[in-house]
Amino acid sequence: MGDISITASAIGQYCTLPIANAPTTIGKRYRLYYDLANIVSTWKVRDFGGTQTLGTISANATQATIEFTAATAGGLRLVAVAANSSGDFDNFKLQEIRIFKFMPPTNMGEKDVALEIIVEEITDQ
């Protein structure tokens, strides 16, 4: 997805990124990266169908992130919180976050270790 400039004229207006371009698996953790310039008001990031709110965007940023656990099969929706919401979005990237459990060889108990591995990366090309 390339640079996208969006300006709302009513509360609740939105644009979408289809599931095919941002697939997720229910129950898995993800991190969404984005750049944003020239923001006016606030935007909500939701799943494609608009049922799950993934995060709120209210400031310009470079490589900002939103982390979420997927409740749907993916896709994204940027929803205007105000009638004048506006912004120039770029460099969207979606990564799955994986958590692994390691057992010590002495069987002294489980230890949770967060280890990030990029399983699937979707970038604007």
Both ends of the chain: CA-CA distance in Å?
7
Mean pLDDT of the chain: 86
* Number of domains comprising the chain: 1
CA-closest candidate to residue 54, choices 75, 82, 84: 75
- Cβ contact 91:120 at 8 Å: no
CATH number at residue 63: 2.60.120
| 17: containing domain | 4-123
Per-residue pLDDT tens digits for 33-65: 999 999 999 999 999 999 999 999 999 999 999
Concatenating the DSSP letter of every residue in 30-70 gives: EEEEEEEEEEES-EEEEETTS-SEEEEE-S-EEEEEEEEE-
Specify the pTM: 0.76
